[in-house]
Amino acid sequence: MKKLLYRKLLKDYLNFFLIALISSSLIIWVFQAVNFLDIMVEDGREYNVYLNYSLLNFPKIISRLLPFVLFFSIFYVLSRYELNNELLIFWNFGEDKIKFINFIIYLSLFILFVQISLTSYVVPTSQDKARSFLRNSNINFLGSFVKPKRFNDTIDGVTIYSENRDTDGYLYNLYIKKDIKQGFEITYAKKGIFTQSSRIPILVLYDGETIRTKENKITNFKFSKSDFLLKDLKANTTTQQKNQEMKTKDVFLCVSNLYKIQINIFKTDSKQNINCATGNEINMLKEIYKRLIVPLYIPILMLVPYIMILSSKEKINYSRLKFFTFLIGVFVIILSEGIIRFISKELSDNTFIFISPFVLLFLIYLILIYKLKFKIKN
C-alpha cells in the first residue's frame, strides 16, 4: 500500500512539474522567438536560420526555469495534499516522516543528474550549434529591411542609405560606405535593387559613381551599372564563440591553464580559444558555477517544502509555517542566482561559494531530522 501511495505522490509531482515547466518554457520561448525574429530580420538571415536558432535556445530556457518550477511544484503538491488530508493517509499507514523526507532526497538526485546533463552538455552543445547557424548562413534578404531615409549598418563594415523606395523594390538615391583595407569607398547610385544570382545576394546599382580612399590616395570611377556583391560579407551579429557555448571540458581546461593547474583527463589545446585569455578568469569560474554548482541547489529546493510536514493545517501556526517555508524557498533561489556576483579571481576566496549548497542542504536536512525526532520523543 505504501508503494502505491508513493507512486501516486511521484505521479502528482511529475505531472504538475512537467506541465508547469513545459508551459512556462513555451511562453518564454515565444517571447524570445519574437525578439530573435527582429534580430534575424535586421541581420538579413534566412527564415530557416531563424527557426533553427530559436529552437536550439529551448534547452537553455528549460534549464533556467527547472529549479524554480521544481520548488513551486513540490510546494503546491504538498500544500494540496495537506489541504485534502492526503498526507494523513501516509501517517495512518505508519509511514515514518524521516523516510518520507528521504524519498524526496532520492528523487532530487535523479533531477540533479538531469539538470547537470542539461547545463554541462545539452545547453552548451545547442548554443554552439545555434551560433554555427549564424556563422555559416548568408545574408540573403537585405532588400526586405533596408528602409528609406535610414542608415543601415547590418553588414559588417558597410553602411547603406536610400532616400526612397518604390513598390517594385527599387531604391533611389543610394549611398553606400564600405570599409576596405587601409581606407574606405563611398558609392552613390541613382537607383538600385537587391537580387540573387545562383543564390548569391547582389545589389545591382545603376548610374552612379564610386570614390575610393586608400593609403591617402583618392580614385573615382563612374558606372551605368555595377554589381555590389554580398557573398563574402558578414552581418554584425556576434559569431565568436561565447563562454556559454564552450564544452564543459574546455571550460575546465581554460581554468587549468589560467591558474596553472595540471589536468590530465582531457586532451585538447584550449589555449587557442580566445575565451581563455588572461583576464577572463572570473567569467570562466562563473561558467563552472552556473553549470555545476547551481544544479546542486536542486536537492535543497526540493527539500525546503517538506518543512511544512513539521505541522498540520489544524495547528494555529501552520499558515505562518507555510509562508515561512515559501520565503525560505525564494531565499534559496535568490541565493543560488545572486551569489555568483561575489565570485572573485582568487580561487581560495570562492571556497564558501562553491560549497554553500552542500552546507545548506546538510543544515536543512539536519534541522528537519532533529525536529521530527524531537516530536517523536515528546
Q: Cα dist. 175→142, 172, 236, 325 in Å? A: 15, 9, 19, 64
Residue 165 and residue 183: Cα distance in Å, rounded?
Answer: 30
Residue 346 and residue 330: Cα distance in Å, rounded?
Answer: 29
Kindly give, in sequence order, each residue whose CB lies less than 8 Å from that of residue 319, ignoring residues fewer than 6 positions away: none
Collapsed DSSP state (helix, strand, coil) of residue 331: helix
Residue 361 and residue 104: Cα distance in Å, rounded?
Answer: 13
pLDDT value, residue 178: 86
Task: Name the grid cell of 161.
Answer: 542609405
pLDDT value, residue 213: 87
Given the DSSP bridges, would you call strands 200-214 and 183-197 parallel, antiparallel or unpaired?
antiparallel
Closest CA to 127 of 239, 281, 7, 268: 239
Q: What is the DSSP letter of 214?
A: E
Q: Please report, for the chain, the start and end positions of each structural domain, with discontinuous segments joined by +.
A: 2-136+240-377, 142-229
Collapsed DSSP state (helix, strand, coil) of residue 83: helix
pLDDT by residue for the chain (378 residues), tens only, comes to 678 888 999 999 999 999 999 999 999 999 888 777 666 555 556 667 778 888 899 999 999 999 999 999 999 999 999 888 888 888 888 888 888 999 999 999 999 999 999 999 999 999 888 877 766 665 555 555 577 888 877 677 788 888 888 877 788 998 888 888 878 888 999 998 888 777 677 888 999 999 888 877 888 889 898 888 766 555 555 556 788 888 888 888 888 888 877 555 555 444 455 567 777 888 899 999 999 999 999 999 999 999 998 887 778 788 889 999 999 999 999 999 999 999 988 888 899 999 999 999 999 999 999 888 776 555
Given the DSSP bridges, would you call strands 171-180 and 200-214 parallel, antiparallel or unpaired?
unpaired
- In degrees, rounded to 5, the angle at the alpha carbon of residue 142 between the alpha carbons of residues 237 and 162 is 110
Closest CA to 95 of 6, 164, 35, 197: 6
Q: Which helix (H) or strand (E) holds 173?
A: strand 171-180
Residue 109 and residue 95: Cα distance in Å, rounded?
Answer: 22
For 285-302, write each residue's pLDDT tens digit.
999 999 999 999 999 999
